[in-house]
């Protein structure tokens, strides 16, 4: 009970520091981990060892993946490649299905591009199409936000899912494959929720209030825009399939090459090089510290540091013997895949950031996988997705994405809670139920 109390005190201090005092999550997590070690009675040398191993171990495996993913997203956004993808999806689905088009577009764009950026980029199109199609603006807006939320928390190379995958040592290719399946299926109930619960919200789009960021040069073509996203994902998934014991691609030089280029770091590096081809005229200054690469570093740095601090917290828990404690107290309980989900949901609801919820929960759960019966290869994959599902909800006033959505759409806080916030809970619940069913079938 004492150790459990220490964990709860440490988590409470971390959440309080982030919410009440606006302290950066990196510092809150890092100091919170040390406070936990001291309160748990860990010797000083073990605390220092946990810091070194936790921070270095996590960043050594996933720090580059986060950075490369951000680079791809930055080039897609700056060159207008993401905009081209959005326009083509909208054209293919048609103006009569604007709600579905916005959901699918948000879903795809949020894989390489941060959620807030994807919404800001798409909102002007959303306004125009909802007006032309004579659909409630609130309906198309929530379709866009839930589409963004689904892939943001469940499909790498978004930073949060990548970080959780690395911390839990899950197969990234399988996380991508099953993440796409789970998130797509989870959006089906959301589609009907949006149709039923958003039509009473009456918003009048103000077309002059949002201006798209100027795109430098001519926009790239559709195929060129899709390549930095599709090729890395395809390589990673194929490499994961090639690792199967049945050796579906055989034991030859092709498989060896595929395993190399399909390794997450190389695959995303290839994606980054493909994104460098997006500008109409390549300028070496884009790769400088003051160019788009420098901007990518500034965006990725906080996420990488938070991930490292989460690694420290996880290693501190592991070295304090938390696994033995949980084993002795939860041996008769069948929490299984639902415990990571509930922990992530509580953290997301409390402090607002899906990325922080993903990283923190993964760090806490990592030492407990065997105890919870989640340490097989496939259960590690579904544990990542369970955490991602929990990190979707509940998006409300402490979430920057909630404010971007309400301010740019003209919703008040009550309307935002009735539509977007409740929608994230529907999405999270749908996702965890699908994950549970899959764990029973596979």
Annotate 242-252 with b (16+ C-beta within 10 A) or e (fewer).
bbeeeeebeee
207 pLDDT exceeds 70? Answer: no
Cα–Cα nearest to 95, from 54, 135, 143: 135
Give the percent of the chain with pLDDT over 70: 93
Segment 411-430 shows an average pLDDT of 92
With bands split at pLDDT 50, 70 and 90, how would you rate the model's confidence at 331?
A: very low
CA 213 to chain centre: 24
pLDDT mean over 354-374: 87
Average pLDDT over residues 161-186: 94
Residue 337, pLDDT > 70, answer: yes
Lowest mean pLDDT among 143-147, 236-240, 376-380, 414-418: 236-240
pLDDT for 333: 53
Query: Mean pLDDT over residues 412-437, rounded?
Result: 94
Distance CA 333, CA 327 (A): 10
Residue 291 is classified by DSSP as: S
Convert the pLDDT of each residue in 243-285 to its tens digit.
877 788 888 898 999 999 988 889 889 989 998 988 888 778 8
Distance CA 253, CA 258 (A): 8
Indicate the pLDDT class of residue 210, thresholds 50, 70 and 90: very low
Give the CA angle between residues 261, 263, 268 to the nearest 5°: 80
Q: Report how far apart, in Å, the C-alpha atoms of 136 and of each of 128, 203, 244, 415 are.
A: 12, 7, 48, 13
* Mean pLDDT across 34-45: 89
State the DSSP code for 286: G
Average of per-residue pLDDT across 32-55? 89
Query: Would you say residue 387 has pLDDT above 90?
Result: yes
Q: What does the pLDDT look like over 121-156, one tens digit per residue?
A: 777 778 777 777 778 889 999 999 999 999 999 998
**In which region does residue 336 sit, left (phi positive, over 0), alpha (psi from -120 to 50) or beta (all else)?**
left
> Using CA of residue 129, residue 196, residue 428, residue 413, what is the dihedral sign?
positive
Q: Is the CB of residue 17 less than 8 Å from the CB of residue 28?
A: yes
Quote the tokens at residue 26: 């990196």
Tracing tokens 């990571």 back to the chain, one arrives at 340
- pLDDT > 90: what percent of the chain? 26
Whether pLDDT at 214 is above 70: no
Between CA 146 and CA 187 the distance in angstroms is: 8
| pLDDT on residue 209 | 39
- Examine residue 157 and say whether the peptide bond preceding it is cis (omega within 30 degrees of 0): yes
- pLDDT value of residue 382: 97
Contact between 177 and 118 under an 8 Å Cβ cutoff? The reply is no
Which residue carries 């959440």 as its tokens?
Answer: 15
What does the pLDDT average to over 320-348?
72
Pick from 151, 225, 140, 231: nearest CA to 419: 140
Higher pLDDT, 313 or 424: 424
Q: Which two tokens stand for residue 361?
A: 């929960």
Residue 340: strand, helix, or coil = helix
Secondary structure letter of residue 209 according to DSSP? S
Average pLDDT of the segment spanning 316-325: 70
Quick one: three-class SS letters along 295-336? HHHHHHHHHHHHHHHHHHHHHHHHHCCHHHHHHHHCCCCCCC
**Predicted local confidence at residue 323, as pLDDT:** 56
| Position 213 pLDDT exceeds 60 | no
pLDDT tens digits along 106-127: 998 888 777 777 887 777 778 7
With bands split at pLDDT 50, 70 and 90, how would you rate the model's confidence at 322?
Answer: low
Predicted confidence (pLDDT) at residue 30 exceeds the cutoff of 60: yes
- Residue 334 phi, psi (nearest 5): -115, 60
158, 175 in Cβ contact below 8 A? no
Q: Would you state the pLDDT for residue 420? A: 94
DSSP string, 144-196: HHHHHHHHHHHSTTSHHHHHHHHHTT--HHHHHHHHHHHHHHHHHHHHHHHHH
Backbone angles phi, psi at 34, to 5 degrees: -65, -40
Domain spans of the chain, in order of start: 2-441
Structure tokens at 44: 């000083």
């Amino acid at each position: 009970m004492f150790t459990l109390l220490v964990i709860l005190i440490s988590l409470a201090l971390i959440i309080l520091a982030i919410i009440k005092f606006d302290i950066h999550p990196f510092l809150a997590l890092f100091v919170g981990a040390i406070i936990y070690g001291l309160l748990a009675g860990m010797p000083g040398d073990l605390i220092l060892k946990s810091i070194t191993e936790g921070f270095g171990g996590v960043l050594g495996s996933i720090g580059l993946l986060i950075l490369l993913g951000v680079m791809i997203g930055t080039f897609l956004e700056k060159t207008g490649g993401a905009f081209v993808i959005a326009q083509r999806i909208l054209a293919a689905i048609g103006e009569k299905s604007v709600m579905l088009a916005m959901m699918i577009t948000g879903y795809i764009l949020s894989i390489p591009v941060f959620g807030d950026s994807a919404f800001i980029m798409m909102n002007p199109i959303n306004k125009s199409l909802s007006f032309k199609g004579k659909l409630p603006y609130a309906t198309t807006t929530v379709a866009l936000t839930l589409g963004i939320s689904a892939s943001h928390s469940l499909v790498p190379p978004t930073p949060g899912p990548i970080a959780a995958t690395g911390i839990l040592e899950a197969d990234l290719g399988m996380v991508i494959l099953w993440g796409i399946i789970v998130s797509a299926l989870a959006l089906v109930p959301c589609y009907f929720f949006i149709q039923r619960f958003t039509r009473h919200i009456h918003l009048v789009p103000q077309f002059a209030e949002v201006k798209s960021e100027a795109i430098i040069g001519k926009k790239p073509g559709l195929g060129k825009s899709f390549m930095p996203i599709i090729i890395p994902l395809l390589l990673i998934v194929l490499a994961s399939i090639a690792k199967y014991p049945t050796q579906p691609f055989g034991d030859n030089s092709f498989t060896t090459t595929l395993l190399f280029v399909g390794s997450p770091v190389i695959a995303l590096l290839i994606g980054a090089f493909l994104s460098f081809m997006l500008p109409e005229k390549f300028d070496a200054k884009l790769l400088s510290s003051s160019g788009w690469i420098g901007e990518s570093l500034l965006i990725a740095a906080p996420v990488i540091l938070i991930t490292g601090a989460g690694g420290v917290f996880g290693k501190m828990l592991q070295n304090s013997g938390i696994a033995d404690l949980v084993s002795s107290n939860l041996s008769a309980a069948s929490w299984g895949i639902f415990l990571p989900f509930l922990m992530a949901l509580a953290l997301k609801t409390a402090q607002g950031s899906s990325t922080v919820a993903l990283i923190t929960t993964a760090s806490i759960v990592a030492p407990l996988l065997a105890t919870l019966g989640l340490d097989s290869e496939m259960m590690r994959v579904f544990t990542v997705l369970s955490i991602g599902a929990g990190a979707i909800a509940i998006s409300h006033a402490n979430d920057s994405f909630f404010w971007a959505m309400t301010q740019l759409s003209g919703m008040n806080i009550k309307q935002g809670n009735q539509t977007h916030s409740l929608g994230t809970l529907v999405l999270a619940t749908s996702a965890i139920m699908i994950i549970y069913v899959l764990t029973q079938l596979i």
